[in-house]
Structure 1
Amino acid sequence: MALVSNKIVCITGASRGIGRGCALEFAKHGASGLVLHYYGDEETEREIRTLKEEIENPATYPQNPKVVIVPGDIADPGTSSKIVEIAVQTFQRIDVLVSNAGICPFAEFLSMPHATWERTRQVNLDGSFFVVQAVANQMKNQTPQGGSIVGISSISALVGGEMQCHYTPTKAGILSLMQSCAVALGKYNIRANAILPGTIATDINKEDLSDVSKRQNMEKRTVLGRLGEPSDIAGPVAKYVTGASLLVDGGLFVNLQ
């Protein structure tokens, strides 16, 4: 039996990177419906429509999952309300949420404009809170009650980064949010867990990793000798897991020497 057979899955920030990789893996493992959120500019519009066509191609996914797409700034709480509204209109329920949308504009701490801090927090942490709260309310009220919520945190929740003083606190916040939500939502049969990716080769760090020597150094620091790929983050699915955090980093964190 497929891991998420006949499940309805919502993914924020699904047009590229980890979100896109998760969407493809959920389709591969039997999801019957996907609600894919994207920012809504011309570039992400093009990317999400290409993804929708790929998933709905019966030659690629014979189970023929249905895909609906929802644009909007995740920092706006109205976007999360719209995601839930469209999901329920189309599929009548939500079984899984992957709260993935995020940004990481590298910046030097001492000269960082406050607007950079504000926007990073609004997208990464506020946006996660809004969508988790909105989807959890739907999971509580639907029949059968319950579901699974996954917050995409980061190895940066555990370690520092010179150019990430605005980013790492938001990812630590997502880890903490999932831990507390596991406690708050367990009575409604809702599980909440955090995934902590290491260095994953996506658009968010494309410019940073264009430095060949830096990329090679990052690869050498992992135990597996390679950077992660978006599909690596799809991860295992387990029924009796909640409040957990899974570090998916190729051994980067433990490889001190």
Structure 2
Amino acid sequence: MLLKDKNIFVTGGSRGIGRGIALACAEHGANVAISAEDTAAERETLAATVAEIEAHGVKSAWVAASAENPDTGDRLVETAVDALGRLDVFINNAGICPFHSFLDMPRETYLKTVDVNLNGAFFAVQAAANQMVAQGDGGSIIAVSSISALVGGGMQTHYTPTKAGVLSLMQSTAIALGGYGIRCNALLPGTIETDINREDLSDTRKRDYMISRTPLGRLGAPDDMGGPAVFLASDLAKYVTGAALLVDGGLYVNLQ
């Protein structure tokens, strides 16, 4: 119960990595609110995930709001405070990766990716930080970046810069917010099987290649992200800030 009585918000928490993190936090005693895009399908998924969270005997809530909207961060914080009483940990996970070649990248695809992944993260983290500063007793902010912050991808020229930006955001906010007792860290997942890459990994040759490149011999699952997130959110990491934690099965260090 590393997070007992902590109040946590996870963006993009209805499915994939966000859901894995939200459920792991609930298992460790945290009250967890989540968000996702405002569509009928996501509203159903949000409600279902909240039910799973509450099955752990903790409180939960959800809000459907577009991650790319600069005002969404305020809505997320308001949801957490109204439902849970305060905000102790904020986990920015919402992101998209519509794979596309570089030379014919549609301008709207590039701008949408930047707005969701980087601009949305900035304003959400800013809103969470202001709430924590107002509460006066610190907190933890975690952003889900990616191994793609460190390496390139021919079909991800719009995506990798946003994940490098999220990593840099955590490094800079660690400095900006350290005096308030707010820790800021980044998680860098490798190839985690989620909806975002299911079509890409349906190519068996690509899938087998990615597995062969991973020293642990398998692709990641969303719940593989839970433990690292719980650690960074907990008091076990009370002297950890500005850090980047790879959760990739060893993919990044394997040059063979």
TM range (shorter): over 0.9
2:192 aligned counterpart, secondary structure: coil
1:37 aligned counterpart, secondary structure: strand
Q: Is 2:94 aligned against 1:101?
A: yes
- Aligned letter for 1:241? V
Whether the 8 Å contact between 2:68 and 2:116 is mirrored in structure 1 is: yes
Q: Is 2:80 aligned against 1:87?
A: yes
User: Number of paired residues?
Assistant: 249
Q: Give the counterpart of 1:51 among 34, 49, 52.
A: 49
Q: Deviations over 1:143-165 (max 9, x none)?
A: 4x210000100000000000000
Indicate the residue corresponding to 1:213 in structure 2. Answer: 205
Q: Deviations over 1:73-101 (max 9, x none)?
A: 01112211111112112222101111000
Q: Is 2:190 aligned against 1:198?
A: yes
2: distance between equivalents of 1:135 and 1:54? 24
1: distance between equivalents of 2:40 and 2:122? 26
- Aligned letter for 1:70? V
Indicate the residue corresponding to 2:122 in structure 1. Answer: 129
Write the mapping of 1:223-242 to structure 2, written as runs, cut at 5 A: 223-234=215-226, 235=228, 236-237=231-232, 238-242=237-241
Q: Is 2:149 aligned against 1:157?
A: yes
Q: Deviations over 1:29-68 (max 9, x none)?
A: 110x2111111212211111111112222xxx2xx11111
Q: Give the counterpart of 1:65 among 58, 62, 68.
A: 58
Indicate the residue corresponding to 1:11 in structure 2. Answer: 10
Indicate the residue corresponding to 2:69 in structure 1. Answer: 76
1:77 aligned counterpart, secondary structure: coil
Query: Runs of 5+ in structure 1 lacking a partner?
Result: none
**233-242 or 172-181: which moved more?**
233-242
- Aligned letter for 2:203? D
Q: Give the counterpart of 1:36 among 11, 34, 37.
A: 34
1: distance between equivalents of 2:215 and 2:23? 26
Q: CA RMSD in A?
A: 0.9
Indicate the residue corresponding to 2:181 in structure 1. Answer: 189
1: distance between equivalents of 2:159 and 2:184? 22
- Aligned letter for 1:95? D
Please, what TM-score do these two structures have when normalized by structure 1?
0.95
Structure 1 stretches of 4+ with a deviation exceeding 3 A read none
2: distance between equivalents of 1:161 and 1:50? 34
Greater length-normalized contact order (CA 8 Å, ≥ 6 residues apart): 2
1:101 aligned counterpart, secondary structure: coil
- Aligned letter for 1:251? G
- Aligned letter for 2:119? D
Q: Give the counterpart of 1:180 among 172, 185, 210.
A: 172
2:4 aligned counterpart, secondary structure: coil
2: distance between equivalents of 1:190 and 1:10? 15
1:6 Cα offset (Å): 0.4
Query: Runs of 5+ in structure 2 lacking a partner?
Result: none
- Aligned letter for 1:25? A
2: distance between equivalents of 1:168 and 1:67? 32
1:108 Cα offset (Å): 0.5
**188-197 or 37-46: which moved more?**
37-46
Structure with a larger share of its residues in helix: 2
